[in-house]
Amino acid sequence: MFTIVNDLIVGISTQVEVVAPTFSELAKQINVEDNSQCNTDLKYAVLPKSFTQISGALKFVTIQQNFEIKLTKQYSSSQLDDSNKRTVTIELFDLTYDIYKKIIETKAGLPAVVINILDLSVSDPIYLESDHTSLVTSNFSIVYRVQI
């Protein structure tokens, strides 16, 4: 099963890079704030989260697993207003939706295994003020089937 989880991470990451070709993986993906200042612009992370078994067909195990995507982009700091911060955050929200649509279209790159992709939720942005970075985190579930 862990091979499937890794394959899903690779498939999701591929879709992120298709939709956002200027983005690359964060060095430190769990605690984004641990990245150095120059290492948070145009970055992403794909993390597997909890999963549960759900009812499904005989001779298969059906899993619903949560995944998380983190997107970061730096903004220009201004003493006058926060329009740059706002603009970057809106761009990340739009990009999150586009990535989610692409993951659905491609079934995360594993159409023979993935049954459904659902339950998108996007959290409020986090601003890493020390390096002028906006962080947007999205979560969604992938339902997939593994043969016993």
Q: What is the pTM of this model?
A: 0.91
94-146 confidence digits (pLDDT tens)? 999 999 999 999 999 999 999 999 999 999 999 988 888 999 999 999 999 98
Query: Cα 54 to the chain's mean position, in Å?
Result: 23
What does the domain layout of the chain look like in residue ranges? 2-147
Percentage of residues in the chain having pLDDT higher than 70: 94
**Whole-number pLDDT of residue 131:** 85
Give residues with Cβ within 8 angstroms of 113, minimum separation 6: 4, 7, 107, 144, 145, 146
**Residue 126 main-chain phi, psi, to 5 deg:** -115, 135
CATH number of 2-147: 3.30.2000.10
Q: Let me know the angle formed at the C-alpha of 52 by 136 and 50, rounded to the nearest 5 degrees.
A: 30
**Whole-number pLDDT of residue 80:** 65
Residue 44's pLDDT band (boundaries 50, 70, 90)?
very high
Residue 40's pLDDT band (boundaries 50, 70, 90)?
confident
Among 36-40, 43-47, 89-93, 99-103, whose mean pLDDT is lowest? 36-40
**Counting beta carbons within 10 angstroms of the beta carbon of residue 47, is it exposed (0 to 12), middle (13 to 18) or buried (19 or more)?**
middle
Residue 33's pLDDT band (boundaries 50, 70, 90)?
confident
